[in-house]
Structure formats: structure tokens, C-alpha cells
Structure 1
Amino acid sequence: MVQGFSREPGTEGPLSGIAPEGVRKVRLWALFIALGGFLFGFDTGVVSGALLYIKGEFHLNSLEQSSIVSVLLIGAMLGAMGAGRAADRLGRRKTLAIEGLLFIGGTAILTFAPGYVVLLIGRIVLGVAVGAASATVPVYLSEVSPTELRGRFLTLNQLMITVGILISYLVNLAFAGSGQWRAMFAVGAIPALLMVAGTVWLLPESPQWLILKGRVDKARKVIESVSNEERATHLIERALRRRPDEKQGAEQKKDWRVLLAPRVRPALIVGLTLAAAQQFGGINTIIYYAPTLIEKTGLSATNSIFYSVAIGVINLVMTIVAIRLVDRMGRRPLLLISLTGMLVTLVLLGFSYVVGMSSVLSLLFMVIYIASFAVGLGPVFWVLVGELFPSSARAAGSGASTAVNWASNFVVSLVFLPLANVIGQGETFWIFAVIVVFTLWFVGRYVPETRGREFDEVDTALQARFGRKPQAGRASG
């Protein structure tokens, strides 16, 4: 589960057009902010290896194993819902620092957990941190990024999530021989400490937030630290001119009823459907349970963790490929190619477990499945969420879609192992394949191409796919 980005006229933050030396400084800020994304990836991935040893030490059944994985997602839903209000009230910088402390606290609880119940508590605390970071990091990045580089800087968050997952697999591998699952969790304290230290001593508050709160002098100091006095004056004056509109827009975005407006419903249907399909297509059964799945083919725990690293590498590489292709090929082609690859490999993966194919073939199918997801459905979902909703409903639409994504993630991760134990590993993958078939049909029928289009063009195409007449005049957004 990774955050998308969009770039649209009229949404520039106070930072834009700064000098190259200023860009280098902002890039350093972005790196520390994106540690929240790294921890998001690390803490959702590290449990996959640790679980192989936790289940034996505490004699956990399949439901208890699933709950240790999935309870993080309950915390994440709570964290995501509360992060927006905290970031608006306390500021982006303080909120990120608090999230870093939550990462440290959750990691400490897991590292010293004496039993199952305390493990659940630690995972909930980490979940709150993960969910809050997933909401805060993209906002903070967008508001400290130069306008002309915002897409690239927001992509850094997406890449850091993927890197975090890969590093978690490597950490699992490093401690697999000794079975030190506590050490696997403990490593997460290092980036969390860096995040808190960087936030306290290095990062500035978002100049956009400072201006909205009337702290213009402090905003000026932040901007002048990467620009010059003349440029700072120009950017602040421009931001102040937009301030009344932004406040009015913020009030509108608090009202979730805007999503029920007839013109917004098609975007909402697409957003919620793709949010659920992204998870019910089975992606996190591979991310969370890769070592457990590979172990089922007959490999040892250590070898299972080793081969799961290949999945992390492919996930990272194909995410980079997707970033390069999404503005060249378009959203629909990537989605259709992605879903087709997922469908074929889910069918084959199911057969590999049903008929008992070699572990090499099972691993190969997993890797191709991950590649197919990472090049399309994974990142493109977040791009579309930022492109389909009108400006008055974009925050609410994105929030609703993200909430459904977290909830779907929770359901799949909770029921996967028990369901697989009842009907079989392969048959469970075939259920995911059926859901992907539906998603292929849905994308082909209802999802418009958005590449290179202004919002009014996107909205016209979307309304047409739902059998609605285009709205007269230019649509807002």
C-alpha cells in the first residue's frame, strides 16, 4: 500500500523556482521526511520473517499468526484518520516527530514482548505510526517541495516504502540463521531514531502551514533559507492571495457529503473499487507471508527468507519502471497489462500448490506476480485517486479510497491463512484470480485514460463511461 501524487495548476505551495543550491537543501529535507515512508515499508514487511520464529516460540495457531500481521492495519486506520487533524493543529513537523516516537515505542514493545498479547499491543502502536505517516509524509513533502519538482519528491516517498520492504527482507535474512526475531524488529529503531532526530534538529515547519496559521515571519525565514529575500517576498505574497480560497476549500473538504454529489459518484465508484481490488487481488498475502508461503513448498525457514528477498528486489525495480512508464504509456494500458499478468500468475501459483510443483516454479510465479502488480495496479491506483476527483472533493475522495484500501488490506491479511488452511493454498489464490478477472472488466469498462488531460477532459471521459452526459462548461478541478 503506497501514496500517489498529482500535479495540477493552482495548487503550488510557497516553494517554487528556487535556486539549485536551495533544491539540494530541500532534497535533504525530503529524505528525512521520507523516512516515514521507509518505516511504513519496513514495519509492514519485517513481520513476514519474524513470524516464522514467533509462531514456534509462542505456539500460535493460524488465526493468532494472522492477527499479529493484520492488527497493525487496525492501528493504521486509526492513525490515518487522526493524522490530518493533528497535522493541521500541531503542524507537519511536530506531527512527524510524534509519529517517529510512536515508531520507537512500538518497536520497543515488540522487541521485549513476553507473549502474544504484548505482541498485539506493539503491532497496534506501530500500526498507528504507519497509518499516520502514510497520511502525513506526502502532505509534508508536497509543501516543502519546489513546484517544478513536486512529482519527483513525492515519488521519493513511494520508493522509500518499497526500499523499506526490501530492507526488512534483508534484515530477516541476516537474523534467520539464529532465529533472532526480536533483533529483526529492533533494527527498525535505527531509522525511527534518525527520523526523530532529523525532524527535531534539521527539518523546518512547512512554510505553507505557517502562512495559513498567520506566521508569515517564520515562513519567510524558511523560504529565505533556500532562496533569497526578493523571491521569498514574491512567494509569500502569492500564497497570501490564495489564502482565503484555501480556507474556504478546506471547509468544503471537511464535508464528506460532497462525495455523494451526482457528478462525483463515478469518481468515487472508481476510487473505492480500485482501492478494494488492489488488496483483494492478493498482493499483501505475498508481501506479508512470502517466507511462510515459500516454506510450504518444502524449503527451510532460512531459505524461504532468502528467496523472499528476490520478491523485494523485483518490487523495487518494477516500481521504478512504473514511475518511468506512467506518463509515457498511460494509466489504462499499465493497469490492463498489470492485471493480465496478475491473473495468469495467480492461476499458475494456485496450480503450483494444488499439484505440488517445484519450489522454484512457485517462487517464479510469485516474482512475476509481484512484478505485474508493481508496474501497474500498485502505483497507478494512487495516481488515479489524485486525478479523478474534482478539487472540492479530492481530499475527501482520497481519504475515502485510502480508508477502504486499509480496511481491505486488514480483511485479506486476517483471513488468508485460516482460509488457506480450510480450502487449500492453491484454491485461495484462485479466489484472488476471480477478483482480478472482475477488476479487468471494471477497468476496461469504467476507468478512463487520464494521461496528459486536464480535469474537464478527464471528467467528460469518466462521465461518458458511466452513461452520463458531459457537463456544460468547464468542470472545476
Structure 2
Amino acid sequence: MTKILVAGILAGCLLMIPAGISEASYGLYAQRLLKDDHTVKITLTLISIFRLLSKIGSISGSLVFSILAEIIGRKYTITAISIPYIISCITFQLTSTYMMGCVANFLTGFSIGGAYSILPIYIGEVATKSSRGRLISLLHTSFILGRFFVGAILGQFFIKNSLPVINFTTGVLAIFAAILSIAFVTETPYFYLKKVKHELVKISLQKIRRENANYELELTEIQERKTFGIPDNGVGKGMFFKYKWLKPYLLLTCLYVLIWLSLFLTFSIPVRQTYYDANIDPEIKALVVGGVNLVSSLVILLLIDKLGRKLSLMYSFAAITGICLVFFVLKQSKAPLDVLFIGVGPVPSVLLGEIFPLNQKMICSGISNAVYFTLQAVMLALDELNLKYDSFPNIHVYISFIVSTASVLIIKLFYIETKCKSLSEIERELNR
């Protein structure tokens, strides 16, 4: 890989680590702000609102940054994603009021939404087809690393003073990402192609593939996409051909819904209840869960370009089905649940960076992630209801079992394999 390509991937990873840090820090921030701000009382609802504002920020950021990337390009949008991160960590460090904390949390979510929408597309456009899967998967690994940093490392060594460390780390990572994107990251050839700047397409590809003597073949393939889609040669029919974005968008949205129904809705409460009933030390829990998730993300990173995206998803949903059975048989959910992140975690991001046609790539990415974060917001609301009423009917596990079993068949029948295929080949296959 060239230095330019490494810089782009590193900048992306540096922006995803704060996303993981934020995901693991909601409770710490909310408790500190509600404790310091004597004008409000600590309630479960206020903590939930605090978290929900981050998701609303992510929904907004997904849409705003995806539009911005079509106007000013991927390179400068990556730089712009760093700015709300920096403002939010400074605000968190200086404020002691709940309202300002909510504003800072919204800004953090705004950057997270941009990172989820822009970074997979950027890496998908600059990586080679043989390495694209594992390079996009690095984003998910970075997210898990951020969560592990807060839950396991800071939980062990900075229990009383972790928030200043979190603010400093987030700010420094965002600043370094901005410097990398400004100084070393180059714009993708696909952005220049859409802007009909064909000479810049060649220059961009030369910079990214400097050591690759066969880059001319890739350049020829990219330039054949001058009409920003597959030529009208009879492939594709009806609406799916007229609107080339519709089929991949429906496939990705369906995947988000299947994952949400089979995993998030079902297991958020029993995991917590299992730890509570077993009287497991929270620090040990954080270390075990964080460690397993981190190792799992590394496993899929190594396998995704060998197994492929389709098999990884099928194995993941099959594992969820098996875990539902284990839940009923053994009445334990802790041990197998952490394995669920193998496959499901990074694969949607990989597909996001691969399957959308050029002329609608960014806006489709933004809308897809807006749907993803909306589902997360709904999950938070359901989570609060379960906590308030202390109920977890087994019907949720039945739903998970049915959905995950059906998901294996749905993916087998309707999803394509994108492993080791160029973006043009993927678009062509989706429009058959």
C-alpha cells in the first residue's frame, strides 16, 4: 500500500475510535453532569434522553456529511468530521450543566454519523478489490477498540478520573485525523469521475496505486463508468434498472432490520440481567466482553476477504439461532452472546462501501445510516421500557430465533457475494 492509502485508512480508524469511546461513555457523562447540575434530578429518563440525543445527532450527521461529500469531496469531508468531535470534547471538559452536556453529546453523534457514512465509501473507493473487505473492517475494529479502551482499560486504572482522559483522547485523535486528511489523504478517483474531471481521475489513481504497475487496467475500468452507471445494454428490468440505487438500498436496509430484530432487541436485557444475577464484578465483565468483542472483530478482519461477505453473514445469523437454543436449554446467555459480533459487526459497513452506484453512492449511504441510527434510537426507547417495567418476556427470544433462521435463507437467496469484485462488477451484477 502507498503512504497516501495508509494515511486515508489511518485517518478513518482515528475517527472511529472516538465513536467507540462515546458509545461506552454515555453513562459516565450523564451521571457526572446530573450529579454536578443541581437544577435537575437524576432519573432514568434523563439518562435515556442524553443517549438519545447522540443518536439524533448521528441521524443528522449521516445526512449532512453525505451531502457535503458530494459537494466538496471525500477528503475534505473527512477533515470536517473531526470538527464536531473537537468541539464536543472541549465542551464536555468545561461544562457542568446537563443542557450543555446534551449539546456536546449531539455534536459527538453528529461526527459519528458522518464517520459511519463517509469512511466506508472512501475506503471502498481507494482500496483494491482483493483488500477492500478487510480494510473497511478495520473501521469496526477501531470502534470496538474505543469501547475496550473505556470499558476495560480506563475502568481498571482511571475509575474516578476517566472523563478528562476520555476528552483528551477524543480531541487528540480527532486532531490527528484532521492533520492526516489535510496533509496526506488524496481525493478518490470516483469523486473526480462524477465531477467529469477525467484527468484528475488518472492523477488520483496514480497517487493511490503508485507501486502497482497494473493501475492502467483499473483506470480503464473506472473511465468506462462515464455515464455513472452500467450502460443500458439490457441488464436489469423495471424499477430496479431505472433506479439503480433501489435494490442495494433495500438489501442493506433489510440487513439492518434483520440484525436489529435478531440481536439488539432481544439480548440487551438478558445480558445485563445475567450479569446482575451472577453478581459478576462490573470491571471483570467489561474486560471479558470488551476482550471477546475485540478478538472477534480481528477474526472477521482476517477472514472476510477469504470467506466473503455472504458466508460471514450466514454464519453469524446461524450462530444467533444456535444461541437462542442455548438460552432456552441452559438459561444462560453470557458465554455465547459475545460471539455474535463475529461477522455481523463489520459486514454491513463493508457492503455499504461496495454496493451503491456511483451517482447515488453518498446520499444512499447517508440515508442507510440514518435508518441504522433510527433503529438504535428505537432500541434505546425499548430498553428503557424494559428497565422501567422489569420485564423480559420469552417472546423476544422466539422472535430472534425465527428472524435469525429466516435471515440465513434470505441472505442465501437474495444477497450477492462482493468478495474480490470491482465496484463496476458489483454494480453490474446487482442490476441483472
TM-score band, normalised by shorter chain: 0.7 to 0.9
Whether contact under 8 Å (1:284, 1:413) holds in the other structure is no
Instruction: Note if 1:409 corresponds to 2:376.
Output: yes
- Specify the code of the residue in structure 2 equivalent to 1:70: L
How many Å apart are 1:335 and its aligned residue?
3.2
TM-score (norm 2): 0.77
Task: Give, in whole Å, the separation in 1 of the partners of 2:173 and 2:268.
Answer: 21
Instruction: Note if 1:476 corresponds to 2:431.
Output: yes
How many Å apart are 1:98 and its aligned residue?
0.8
Task: Give, in whole Å, the separation in 2 of the partners of 1:388 and 1:143.
Answer: 11
Task: Give, in whole Å, the separation in 1 of the partners of 2:211 and 2:245.
Answer: 42
**1:321 aligns to what?**
299
Q: Which moved more, 1:200-209 or 1:376-385?
A: 376-385
Task: Give, in whole Å, the separation in 2 of the partners of 1:78 and 1:146.
Answer: 31
Deviations 1:428-460 (A, max 9, x none): 6x45423312312422553325798589xxxxx
**2:187 aligns to what?**
205
Q: Give 2:387's match in structure 1, choosing from 413, 417, 420.
A: 420
**1:340 aligns to what?**
321
Task: Give, in whole Å, the separation in 2 of the partners of 1:388 and 1:240.
Answer: 15
How many Å apart are 1:143 and its aligned residue?
2.5
User: In structure 2, do the counterparts of structure 1 residues 174 and 454 end up closer, same or farther at CA, with 3 Å as the change threshold?
Assistant: closer
Task: Give, in whole Å, the separation in 2 of the partners of 1:197 and 1:386.
Answer: 24
Whether contact under 8 Å (1:70, 1:413) holds in the other structure is yes
Q: Give 2:260's match in structure 1, choosing from 256, 272, 279.
A: 279
User: In structure 2, do the counterparts of structure 1 residues 342 and 191 end up closer, same or farther at CA, with 3 Å as the change threshold?
Assistant: farther
**1:446 aligns to what?**
410
Task: Give, in whole Å, the separation in 2 of the partners of 1:237 and 1:193.
Answer: 33
**1:436 aligns to what?**
400
Count residues in correspondence.
Answer: 412
Task: Give, in whole Å, the separation in 2 of the partners of 1:340 and 1:230.
Answer: 44
Task: Give, in whole Å, the separation in 2 of the partners of 1:229 and 1:274.
Answer: 37
- Specify the code of the residue in structure 2 equivalent to 1:85: I
Task: Give, in whole Å, the separation in 1 of the partners of 2:244 and 2:191.
Answer: 31
How many Å apart are 1:409 and its aligned residue?
0.5
User: In structure 2, do the counterparts of structure 1 residues 284 and 379 end up closer, same or farther at CA, with 3 Å as the change threshold?
Assistant: farther
Whether contact under 8 Å (1:141, 1:153) holds in the other structure is yes
TM-score (norm 1): 0.71
Higher relative contact order (CA 8 A, sep 6+): 2
Identity of aligned residues (%): 15
Instruction: Note if 1:151 corresponds to 2:106.
Output: no
Instruction: Note if 1:368 corresponds to 2:347.
Output: no
**2:91 aligns to what?**
109
Task: Give, in whole Å, the separation in 2 of the partners of 1:422 and 1:273.
Answer: 30
Whether contact under 8 Å (1:79, 1:132) holds in the other structure is yes
**1:471 aligns to what?**
none
Secondary structure of 2:227's partner? helix
Secondary structure of 1:447's partner? helix
User: In structure 2, do the counterparts of structure 1 residues 333 and 129 end up closer, same or farther at CA, with 3 Å as the change threshold?
Assistant: closer
Q: What is the RMSD computed on CA atoms of the aligned residues? A: 4.3
Whether contact under 8 Å (1:335, 1:380) holds in the other structure is no
Structural mapping, 1:219-368, within 5 Å: 220-225=202-207, 234=216, 238=220, 241-246=223-228, 271-281=252-262, 283=264, 296-297=276-277, 303-325=281-303, 327-328=306-307, 330-331=311-312, 333-344=314-325, 365-368=333-336
**2:425 aligns to what?**
none
Deviations 1:155-195 (A, max 9, x none): 22222222222223235415653254354344311211111
Secondary structure of 1:148's partner? coil
What runs of 5+ residues in structure 2 fail to find an aligned partner? Answer: 232-237, 420-428
What runs of 5+ residues in structure 1 fail to find an aligned partner? Answer: 1-21, 251-256, 353-364, 456-473
